[in-house]
Amino acid sequence: MPFPLDVKFVDEAQNELNVIFPKVFVQKMLEENGGEVSTEDDDWTLYPILDKTDNKRISRTCNHIGLETQKAKEWATFPETAIAIGTNGYGDQLILLPDKAENRKFQEAIYVWQHETGETTKVADNILELFDI
C-alpha cells in the first residue's frame, strides 16, 4: 500500500547510494512511496524508499531501493551504475540510469533490465508514464 514520504528519507537514500534521483521520480515517491505500475509487457512493484518514521513504516519499506539495488548488483549482468526501482517478481528490474554528462545525477527515463539476457530497454520517458499505461 503506497503512502506519502518525508523528503528527508529521499535525501538519506540519495546519500546512501551517492546519486541524485530524477525530479519527477522524487515527486512521485513523496506522494506514494512505492506502489504498482505497468509497462506494455509486464506489471511491476516499485521498491519504496526506506521510511524510518515508525516501526510500521520501517516494516513496510524494508525492501527499499538501496537494499534491492545492492541485491541486484550481485547479478553479473546488472548494469554497474544502475539503481533498481522495481521488480516484476521474476528477477527482472525496473531501473534508473545515470545521466551521461553527470554520473551522480540520474535520467528521468525508466528502463527494464532483463535478468536472463542482461539486456536493458527503455520503457518510459519518466515514472509518470508507467502509471498511465
pLDDT in tens, 73-130: 999 999 999 999 999 999 999 999 999 877 789 999 999 999 999 999 999 999 999 9
Domain of residue 61, residue span:
7-132
Residue 128 CB: number of other CB atoms within 10 A? 15
- Distances in Å between the Cα of 124 and the Cα atoms of 8, 58, 67 are 27, 29, 24
Q: What is the pLDDT of residue 27?
A: 96
Looking at the domain assignment, is residue 1 inside a domain? Answer: no
- 19-64 pLDDT, tens per residue? 999 999 999 999 999 999 999 889 999 999 999 999 999 999 999 9
In a domain, 2, yes or no: no
The secondary structure of 47-116 as a DSSP string is PPPP--SSHHHHHHTTT-HHHHHHHHTTSTTS-TT-EEEEE-SSS-EEEE-B-SS-TTBB-S-EEEE-TT
Query: Could you give the number of structural domains in the chain?
Result: 1
The residue among 100, 107, 102 whose CA lies nearest residue 127 is 107
Mean pLDDT confidence for 60-69: 94
pLDDT at 2: 67
